Amino acid sequence: MMSIRIKRAYEPAAAEDGVRILVDRLWPRGLTKEKLQITAWLKEVAPSNALRQQVHHNPDQWDQFVSAYRQELAANPQAVQTLLEYARQDTLTLIYGARDTVHNQAVVLKQYLEKYK
């Protein structure tokens, strides 16, 4: 059974995180590779720069963001498949940098991946 979690990049890594994949297009400000302790950085699964800039953490546009991001994910099956393979091997923790723990791409990505369970 797949286990997918999400976690802010600024929270300390833990053993129960399993495979830690950074799913942001930009590297989290102020963090070193050692501090982040990620298995991989999958930029290609992050929202496009255009989508990221259009919404830019604006909760009023959340529904439009979710819809557009899901379309981008559907058009990028290889990156989605890579994450699913990680999730089938171990706990997968999607790492993101946003301050908003409710309105961020990792929340949408987790829901998107869980439909493949």
Q: In which band, very low, low, confident or very high, does the pLDDT at 53 lie, cut at 50, 70 and 90? A: confident
Confidence of residue 117 (pLDDT cuts 50, 70, 90): confident
In the prediction, which pLDDT does 26 show? Answer: 93
Q: 95 pLDDT exceeds 90?
A: yes
> Angle, nearest 10°, between helix axes 105-114 and 77-89?
70
**Rounded mean pLDDT, 90-117:** 94
Average pLDDT, the chain: 93
Return d(Cα 75, Cα 78) in angstroms, integer.
Answer: 9
Whole-angstrom Cα distance, residue 103 to residue 111? Answer: 13
